Amino acid sequence: MIDTVRDAESARVFPQMIPVLLEILNTAEAAYQKDTIEYQYRRVLLEIIHRIPYGETIRPLALALLGGMLHALRHDNEENGVTACKIIIDLLRSFRALTEELVAEFMGILQDVFRNMKGLVLNTLCEDSPALDPNVVLPSIRSFKVLAEMGMVVVTFSQSHRPLVLTVLQTTLGLNFEVLALESPAQKKAREDYEAMGSYWSGMAPTIKNHQAYMDFITGQIKVHIPYNSSILKISFRRWYLMLHI
């Protein structure tokens, strides 16, 4: 039905609908079991918001939508966190609506995600890590998938509001490098065993049980590196690289 709403109807429908959806998402508890009604309900609400065409009717609601998506990033599950990131990107591309407060809040969430990565790698990518339950989703701030999508949000920040985000971005370099330096313990053992025999290891270690998590982890490392790989920040990268190798 969202796809069929015309411009004349959107001015009547969306200003009434969006605040109600955001209120439900911000006040109801997050769900982490895929087979529950609560999980499916929240997924549908976010998908509705994601399908809304971002025309001029939505412009006055852009900041409220951004605030709601940041709340989902902080408090919801990883699937909804990924969708929230995509909505943020769409909103920024459509309206360039961004404030210092929203940037600070987003970067604070990103730093928390960075800090959670080491523990998540140890919990999911060791040889003795238990297999993840496919019916259970992780919290958004403890997710390799969300890490990757947040990297893409930072790219959009840099493209549309570069002066606003550049200083804040530089303050996260240390945590960024810590995440880039992480390695699956199971993968590390396989690599070192092969190197000890004078050979090289490539591919995923067979002792990793959570294959999808490993692929999400590698994707997250790649995507979170992209916004930092600019000519303006190269000097900062060199400085950190030298510090790590002194």
Q: Looking at the structure, do residues 113 and 173 belong to the same domain, yes or no?
A: yes
Task: Give the bridge partners for 139, in sequence order.
Answer: 77
Percentage of the chain exceeding pLDDT 90 = 61
Q: Looking at the structure, do residues 22 and 110 belong to the same domain, yes or no?
A: no
Tell me the pLDDT of the chain averaged across its residues: 88
For 59-73, give one letter per residue: b (16+ CB within 10 A) or e: eebbbebbebbbbbb
Q: Which pTM value belongs to this model?
A: 0.88
For 14-42, give one letter per residue: b (16+ CB within 10 A) or e: beebbeebbeebeeeebbbeeeeeebeeb
Which of 13-17, 95-99, 105-109 is most confident? 105-109
List the domain range (segments joined by +) for residue 245: 99-246
The domain boundary residue, chosen from 97, 118, 134: 97
pLDDT band per the 50, 70, 90 thresholds, residue 54: confident
Q: Looking at the structure, do residues 103 and 218 belong to the same domain, yes or no?
A: yes
Q: Return the pLDDT at 228.
A: 63
